[in-house]
Amino acid sequence: MQTLILELTPARMILTRMLSRLNASVIFSPASPLRLLNIPDPPLPAAPWVRVRNRMCGICGSDLHQLSLDVSLDVAPAALPAHRRIYLGHEMVGEVVELGPEVQNVRLGDRVVRWGRADDCRARGRQTLCPACERGHRVLCEIASEPREYEPIGGGFGDSFITPASTLLKVPEALTDEQAIFAEPLAVAIHTAFRRPPRPGDKVLVLGVGTIGYLLIQVLRILQPACDITALTQFDWQAALAFKLGADHIFMVNDDGDAHVARLTQARVYRGRRGNTMLIGGFDVVFDVVGIPATLNKALRWTRSHGTVVLVGVNLHRMRVDLTPVWYQEVDLIGSIGHDTVLWQDEPISTFDLAMRWMAEERVLTDDLLTHRFPLAAYRNAFEIALDKNRHHVIKTAFTLN
Ligand SMILES: [Zn+2]
Ligand SMILES: [Zn+2]
């Protein structure tokens, strides 16, 4: 087995974090916790396990955060027990090449994506599920941080991995590998939209267009054809695609955002001292796909009273944020992580299955989103390019693995 790992010994972590402030390429140096590991194929440890040979795997923003060790040790998730060895790559599509004797949900040769974690209730074979697993929200499994019996080995950034079969979902024939690697981010975008589904006539802002932003625009349009979608983009090359995928209006990070919000929503702008501004009125819903203090502060001010901000951008640092709009305008601030099960046309369905269905029906388009591909051996180059979006016009970077 060949697979990329992050080996999180404290010394490597500290060294990399210190040096990466000076120069981002340090994360690829010998001192970095990132290594390409070559080991003999591990045997399947238990009857419900399988081996999957990878075909392709997308690089997610969260992989890049982990790679850069871009996390403060005083944020809530950092208090959970961590694995010393992290196998990167979850946006994978692969093929089942070995089956344990008790596997029922997949067969040899099936193309699969990974939708659960190897430590949730289903993967542990528990008869009674925790409340999160019960509602299909597997990333929030309440026992996931408890010690586990067997270790999953390998990830999407490698030639293969072993995992409990219950973490896999079969990919429909109609989907190409290039579409299948978007099943996970699209499942996330669908879950995010369902956190506060748009109502007819709603004015919605998607703040930030990377992969999730572009997918979210398309999902919002499916859920509510009669809503008005604005996208906030960082670079001009991102704007045309946002329009193509369903945005009605665009403005850019460097524009006067308050003026655009006032124009688009008839909000009133009040200017205080030292550049402080306040809007009365604004969007009904803002999806903060970036999740840094600058965007969250704006998101809260650009939302009308009784509107909602959905925070989906990943940021593993304490933030200095003005929360006054939460009480002063009764703005609801809610979060979104992972994927779950939703009610769509009276049918309970996993957002993963819904993602694959909508791609197969070409209701959600991903062709323009996959901008760069690399073989695994070129991983340094792949990460460097993925981290330098504007220069290379990157949306989604992926490894081609077979
Ligand atoms: Zn992802
Ligand atoms: Zn659970």
Q: Distance from the CA of 212 to the center of ligand 1, in angstroms? A: 9
What CATH number has the domain spanning 186-335? 3.40.50.720
Under 8 Å CB-to-CB from 89, ≥6 apart: which residues?
Answer: 4, 54, 57, 59, 63, 155, 156, 157, 158, 399
Q: Where are the beta strands (DSSP E) in 128-235?
A: 160-164, 168-170, 203-207, 228-233
Q: Which ligand is nearest to the CA of 128?
A: 2
Q: Distance from the CA of 301 to the center of ligand 1, in angstroms? A: 28
Q: Distance from the CA of 136 to the center of ligand 2, in angstroms? A: 9
Q: Distance from the CA of 325 to the center of ligand 1, in angstroms? A: 30
Secondary structure (DSSP) of 134-158: HTT-GGG-TTTTS--SS--B--SSB
Q: Distance from the CA of 357 to the center of ligand 1, in angstroms? A: 19
Closest by Cα among 69, 71, 61 to 31: 69
Q: Distance from the CA of 394 to the center of ligand 1, in angstroms? A: 15
Q: Which ligand is nearest to the CA of 146?
A: 2
- Among the ranges given (25-29, 56-60, 180-184, 303-307), the one the predictor scored with the smallest mean pLDDT: 25-29
pLDDT for 47 beyond 90: yes
Q: Which ligand is nearest to the CA of 398?
A: 1
Q: Where are the domains of the chain?
A: 2-182+369-400, 186-335
pLDDT in tens, 239-258: 999 999 999 999 999 999 99
pLDDT in tens, 269-323: 999 999 899 999 999 999 999 999 999 999 999 999 999 999 999 888 999 999 9
pLDDT in tens, 337-395: 999 999 999 999 999 999 999 999 999 999 999 999 999 999 999 999 999 889 999 99
Domain 2-182+369-400: which CATH class? alpha beta
Q: What residue has token string 């004797």?
A: 101
Collapsing DSSP to helix, strand or coil, 44 comes out as coil
d(CA 161, CA 159): 7
